[in-house]
Structure 1
């Protein structure tokens, strides 16, 4: 049986930025808070509650704001989200080799699942609400031998799990930043993944 490869979701497999801008700005209007959708969408990765703290949302309001964002999400984010170049092919390359595909994301699991289903991505397992080194929990549980992501937090998660850290520069982090964090290999996009996977793993 082939190996399990983990993938991050936002800006690794999918580009949800237009909807993220809309959802965060809508939440700002509803809540009366200064929430910057453009900044949020340009820096996807960290947990939503941390993002809201960065926008100086009152701590006591954060649980309610998170719930409301999650409620807005299916209508505002999912329909406008597209798969990134090479995403479907990368997943198919793993499965064609007899492997399993695992998505580990900081995103709320049910909303992450909506993306996978809407875009027809071939994912065997999905685990949500894990960020940075917390991702190692799911990667170890599913015996993932590699983890692919666009953020420094994804590299940290892979390394904490003892998995190969594969970076892509489709998110906010540069090749140099990902390599400095400990990525084993960095691609400009997932279009480069299938050839590397066939050769390396």
Structure 2
């Protein structure tokens, strides 16, 4: 049986930042709250309710704000999102080696699925609404040996699952930060992943 590799979504496989800016600013206009789309999109990773608390949204309004953002999302964020360099090739490399892929993301799973469909990404499993060390539960359940992400929270999730933490600097964290957090290897983009994967993990034997 081949290896299972986990991937984060935002700023690891996809770049949703323009849509994220627009969606958060639309929510700000509707709600009358001081929500900063640019800041939000530059620091993707933490759960939406935590982001809203950081913007000092009233606690009693947060469930409604989360629901409204999720409703705005398909029409604003999905159409403007692009795949990051090497994303499709990274997924293909795992599949070609007889392995399986799991996307574990803090994003609301139905919206995450829309991204995968829109970009033609084929993954074996998708798990949403998990952040940082919470991701370990899904990685362990599905037997992931490697987890790839752009955020310190992704490294922590991989370590908590005893999976190899692989970092990419396509998100808000720099190489030194990811290494200090425990990343085994850090790439400038997923374009570097297939070569590393081929060197360190052998294809499953035929038959």
The TM-score by the shorter chain falls in which range? over 0.9
Three-state SS of the structure 1 residue aligned to 2:28 is helix
Q: State how far apart, in whole Å, the 2-side matches of 1:131 and 1:39 are.
A: 19
Q: Secondary structure at the match of 2:62?
A: helix
Query: Aligned equivalents of 1:200 and 1:61: distance in 2?
Result: 48
Distance in 1 of aligned mates of 2:170 and 2:181: 16
Q: How many residues align?
A: 201
Unaligned runs of 5+ in 2: 202-207
Q: Give every structure 1 segment of 4 or more consecutive aligned residues whose post-TM-superposition deviation is greater than 6 Å.
A: none
User: How far is the alpha carbon of 1:67 from its aligned partner?
Assistant: 0.1
C-alpha distance in 2, partners of 1:122/1:197?
18
Q: How do residues 41-56 of structure 1 correspond to structure 2 at under 5 angstroms?
A: 41-56=41-56
Q: Deviations over 1:136-170 (max 9, x none)?
A: 00000000000000000000000000000000000
Give the aligned partner of residue 67 of structure 1: 67
| Partners of 1:73 and 1:137 in 2: CA distance | 26
Q: Give 1:113's aligned residue.
A: 113
Taking the aligned partners of 2:198 and 2:30, their CA distance within structure 1 comes to 49
Give the CA deviation at 1:122: 1.7
- Taking the aligned partners of 1:4 and 1:67, their CA distance within structure 2 comes to 32
Q: Partners of 1:43 and 1:135 in 2: how far apart?
A: 18
Q: What aligned pairs does 1:28-43 form with structure 2 within 5 A after superposition?
A: 28-43=28-43
SS for the counterpart of 1:6 is strand
1:88 is the counterpart of 2:70: no
Could you state the TM-score of these two structures normalised by the residue count of structure 1?
Answer: 1.00
Determine the C-alpha separation between the residues in 2 that align with 1:157 and 1:45. 12
* Corresponding residue of 1:191: 191
> Cα offset for 1:30?
0.2
1:124 corresponding residue in structure 2: 124
When the two structures are superposed, what TM-score results if normalisation uses the length of structure 2? 0.97
